Structure 1
Amino acid sequence: MSPTDTDALAKDLLDYIDASPTPYHAVRETARRLTQAGYRALDEREPWTLKPGERVFVTRGDTSIAAFQLGTAPVDRAGFRLVGSHTDSPNLRLKPNATVTKNGYQQLGVEIYGGVLLHTWTDRDLSLAGRIMVMAGGKPQGHLVDFRRPLLRVPNLAIHLNRGVNTDGLKLNAQDHMVPVLGLESAGAVDLRALLVAELAKGGVKAEAGDILGYDLCLYDLQPSIRSGAHGEFLHAPRLDNLASCHAALSALLSGNEKREATSGVVLFDHEEVGSRSAQGAASPFLRTLLERFTLALSDGKPDSFHRAIANSFLVSADMAHAVHPNYASLHEPKHQPHMGAGPVIKSNVNQSYATDGETWAYFTSLCREAGVTPQHFVTRTDLGCGSTIGPISAGQLGIRTVDVGNPMLSMHSIREMACATDVAQMVAVLRQLFK
C-alpha cells in the first residue's frame, strides 16, 4: 500500500472519530457513508425482499448498525465473512435528574460509563452530545444533538490542598469528585431542559421544555483528533477504542465494487464496554436474527440451511490491543509485547476472554500473508486479569469460528488515546482479504 493510501486512511479515521462523539453519532456517520456508497436501509419491522449482490444495512436502538454486501453464492454453501466491533467508549453520561447546585456553582450529575480513566477527564474542555427524545405527533421521536462548544469542566484540586498527589497518587471518588461545573449561580440560573430546547432549535427541531421525555447525553472532549510525533507517526484522538476498529471494518467493506461470492458483513454493536447485555449489544439476538433472515432469502430453503451457513462462516472480532508501554514494560508478558506500527495484533487467552484458537489464529495469519502484513501476538501476563471483547459472546451466540484481533495502542480508556498512523492501513488491508 502506498504512503498516500496510508495517509489518506489515517486522516479519514480522524475525520470519522471527530464526527462521532457518541455511539448515536457513530451510527449516523456510518449510515451516511454506507448510503453514499449505494447501500440501502432495511427496517427490522418490515418484510425484506433481497437478491444476491445487494448492499444493505440495518440499525437497532440508534447505536448499533450492521451492513452487508450479499454474496452471489447461496449462503448455506459460501457462508458469511464478518467483522464485529463496537461503537461505545468509556465516558461520563448525564443522570436523569442531572441539575446540581452546590457552593455557588451549577453542576450536572453524571454516571460513569465503562472503565473510565477518571483522572484524564479532569481539566478538559468538555461538551455534550447524544440523543433527546421529544414528543411529536403524539409519539416520542429521537433527535441527535451536539453542542460543539465548551460547556463543562471537571476541575482538579490544587496541589496546595493535596500535597501528596504526586507521590501517593490522585484518588477520585466517582460520586463526589467527577461532577462537572456548568456555571455560576451568580451569573443566572441555567435550566437544563431550556438549554436542550435551544440546542434542538439549532437543528430545526421546534420543542418546548415539557416536550422532552428523556435523553441519552454523553460528555466528550472538544479537542480535535490530530497526528503527532517527530515524523507524524502517531494518532492522538478520543474513542480510538473502538472507533478505529469500526472504521477499519467499514473501510474494508466499502473498498472495491467487485461482486463477492460469500456474503460480507460488518456489525458494530453498542454496550461492549459494559458487558454487551442489551437489546442491541453482542449478547442480544441482533446479529443472529439478521443472519437467519439472510439465509432464508439467499439459500436453498432447507431446514438446516442456517446451520450449514454458520459452519461455513468466519468472524473477526476487531477491538484495539495493548501496545507495550515504554514506561511500564514490566506489566506486559515478556514474549508478547506488540509494538505500534508493526501490524495487527492477534489476541489470545486460554480462559476464553478472547475467542482465538489455533485454527482461527492460523486463518487470520493467512489473511495477513495475502495482504503482505506480518501479525503480532498479545497475551496478558499470567498473573494479571484479562479484558474481553464481543468475540467470545458472538462465538457463543452463534457457534461461529472467531478470532480476536486489534491494532496496538497506548492510553486505552483515557479521554484521549494514542495509536499509530500506519497501522490503520495494515488492518484495512487484512480485512479486505477476508471479504474477497
Structure 2
Amino acid sequence: MSETMPFDRGHTDGLMSFLAASPSPYHAVANAAALLEKAGFRRVLETEAWDAGTGGKYVLRGGALIAWYVPEGATPATPYRIVGAHTDSPNLRVKPVPDTGAHGWRQIAVEIYGGTLLNTWLDRDLGLSGRLTLRDRSTHLVNVDRALLRVPQLAIHLDRQANEGLKLDRQRHMTPVWGLGRPREGDLLRFLAEESGVPADEIAGFDLMAHSVEPPSYLGRDRELLAGPRMDNLLSVHAGAAALAAAAQHDTAPTCVPVLAAFDHEENGSQSDTGAQGPLLGSVLERSVYARGGSYEDRARAYAGTVCLSSDTGHAVHPNYPERHEPGHHPMPDGGPILKVNVNQRYSTDGAGRAVFAAACERAGVPWQSFVSNNDMPCGTTIGPITAARHGITTVDIGVAILSMHAARELCGAKDPFLLANCLTAFLGE
C-alpha cells in the first residue's frame, strides 16, 4: 500500500465552515456550487439547450445539485465516475399554518422530518432556515441563525419517571416556543419577510426548518474529534465537492467524466424530483452524452462502464453500547472511510465494488474499514441501492463512521473528513 497521507486540518476547518453556513439543503447546494464555481464550474439551466463544450458544469434544482467535468478528448461513450450523497438531514420542519400556541405562549407548528432522535432537539437553542418562494416563483434563501426557538422539556419534578424512559409525543411535545402572548396569523412570515428583506405580501410559499445555532467545534483534549450538525450527510457533500474541484484541476487522459450527485429527500425515501428515485441524475447524464453528439448506443456504453461511490455516514462502534454492533466489525473514528456491506441489498456493495474502493484508497494513501450490521439490528439504507437499480450502474456504499447519527449534533473523528475527500479525489481522478 502507498504511504499514508498526512492529515491536513484545513479540510476539516473548511467542513466546519460549510456545516455552519448550510442549515438547509438549499443552503448546502448553494454553498457547494460556490465551491465549484471557484474551480471554474458554470451553471447550466435545464430549460436551455446544452452545448458540447468541455469543462465543469452543474445543474441546481431545489435542494439537489448534479455537477460534472468533461475533460478534453472525452467521447460520448466515456464512462462516468460518480460520487453520490444527500443534502437533507432529519430535523423539525415548519407546517403550512405555522402560528400556534397556548396558555400565553406563542409557538411554531412543526412536522418531524426523517428519523431524527427527538430528545436531542429538547432544550436546545434553534434558528430557522430554508427558502421563501415569491409570487413570481423566484426563491430567496433565509437563515435566522440566532436563538429564536426552543422545545422545552418537562421538568423532572413534573415527570419523575423521565430518567427511567422518556417518551415523547411527536404532536404534543415537540412544538417549539418563540415568544409570549397570543398567536397571530401570519406572524412568522411577517418576521421572516423583515429578516430577509422581501415584502410579506409577495411570499407565496415556503420550505422552512429548525436548526441548532451551536456552531461545529473540535472536541477532546487533543481536538481529535469533530462535533457538529448535519454531518449526515453534508460531510459527504463537502468532500465530494472538494474532490470534484480537485479532479477538474488535473485534466489528464479522459478515462472518465467525474460527477457529483447531491440529492435531497434521502431521509424520507428519496421519492421526489430531487431525490435519488427521481429522474434528475439520469436526465443529466443522458443529456451530457447527447450534447456531445452521442447516441443511445453511446449512452448504454457509458453507463456500462460507470461506477458510483454512494457516500453516506455509518456507525462507529459505540463505547457504551458495543453489544449493538457486529462483533467482528468495529469501525473506529479516524480509521478511514468505511465500506458498507449488506447481503440483502440495503447497501449495494459487492466484491467488484470493493475492489474499486480499495484501489482508490490505496492510490490516495488512505486506510479503510469494513462495516456490516449485527444480524439482530437491521441496518438502514442509502441512495446506493436506488442508484444501482434505477440506472443499472455499479454502485458501492461507503462513508465515514460517526456517533449520534440523526441527532441534532453528531460526532466523528477530525481526520476522517479529510481521508474521505482524498479517497474520493483518487476515485474521480482515475
Q: Same fold (TM over 0.5)?
A: yes
Alpha-carbon distance between aligned partners in 1 of 2:386 and 2:72, rounded to the nearest angstrom: 29
Which structure 2 residues correspond to residues 232-311 of structure 1 after superposition, within 5 A? Answer: 232-255=223-246, 257-260=249-252, 261=254, 262-298=256-292, 301-311=294-304
Letter paired with 2:57 = V
Alpha-carbon distance between aligned partners in 1 of 2:327 and 2:226, rounded to the nearest angstrom: 26
Query: 1:56 maps to what in 2?
Result: 57
Identity over the aligned pairs, expressed in percent? 43
Tell me the SS of whatever aligns to 1:284.
Answer: coil
Which structure 2 residues correspond to residues 133-144 of structure 1 after superposition, within 5 A? Answer: 133-135=133-135, 139-144=136-141
What is the CA distance between 1:75 and its match in structure 2?
4.5
Structure 2 residue runs of 5 or longer lacking an equivalent are none
Instruction: Report if the CA contact (8 A) 1:127-1:222 is conserved.
Output: yes
Among 1, 14, 25, the alignment partner of 1:12 is 14
Instruction: Report if the CA contact (8 A) 2:102-2:182 is conserved.
Output: no
TM-score, scaled to structure 2: 0.95
What is the CA distance between 1:210 and its match in structure 2?
2.6
Query: 1:214 maps to what in 2?
Result: 205
Query: 1:87 maps to what in 2?
Result: 87
What is the CA distance between 1:33 and its match in structure 2?
1.3
Alpha-carbon distance between aligned partners in 1 of 2:329 and 2:380, rounded to the nearest angstrom: 16
What is the CA distance between 1:267 and its match in structure 2?
0.8
Among 163, 168, 171, the alignment partner of 2:167 is 171
What is the CA distance between 1:189 and its match in structure 2?
9.2
Tell me the SS of whatever aligns to 1:176.
Answer: coil
CA distance 1:303–1:51, shift in 2 (3 Å): same
Query: 2:108 maps to what in 1?
Result: 108
Tell me the SS of whatever aligns to 1:385.
Answer: coil
Tell me the SS of whatever aligns to 1:45.
Answer: coil
TM-score, scaled to structure 1: 0.94
Instruction: Report if the CA contact (8 A) 2:339-2:354 is conserved.
Output: yes
Query: 2:220 maps to what in 1?
Result: 229
Which structure 2 residues correspond to residues 2-81 of structure 1 after superposition, within 5 A? Answer: 6-52=8-54, 54-60=55-61, 62-81=62-81
Query: 1:96 maps to what in 2?
Result: 96
Alpha-carbon distance between aligned partners in 1 of 2:51 and 2:117, rounded to the nearest angstrom: 46
Structure 1's consecutive aligned runs of 4 or more residues displaced over 6 angstroms after TM superposition are 186-190
Letter paired with 1:220 = H
Instruction: Report if the CA contact (8 A) 1:76-1:312 is conserved.
Output: no
Among 148, 173, 177, the alignment partner of 1:151 is 148
How many equivalent residue pairs? 423
Instruction: Report if the CA contact (8 A) 1:75-1:309 is conserved.
Output: no
Instruction: Report if the CA contact (8 A) 1:75-1:263 is conserved.
Output: no
What is the CA distance between 1:188 and its match in structure 2?
9.4
Query: 2:335 maps to what in 1?
Result: 342
Alpha-carbon distance between aligned partners in 2 of 1:268 and 1:414, rounded to the nearest angstrom: 21
C-alpha RMSD of matched pairs (Å): 1.6
Alpha-carbon distance between aligned partners in 1 of 2:262 and 2:183, rounded to the nearest angstrom: 43
What is the CA distance between 1:144 and its match in structure 2?
0.7
Instruction: Report if the CA contact (8 A) 1:148-1:222 is conserved.
Output: yes
Deviations 1:36-90, CA, capped at 9 Å, x for gaps: 22111000010011223x1111011x21001111133445543001100000000
What is the CA distance between 1:298 and its match in structure 2?
2.9
Alpha-carbon distance between aligned partners in 2 of 1:20 and 1:106, rounded to the nearest angstrom: 27
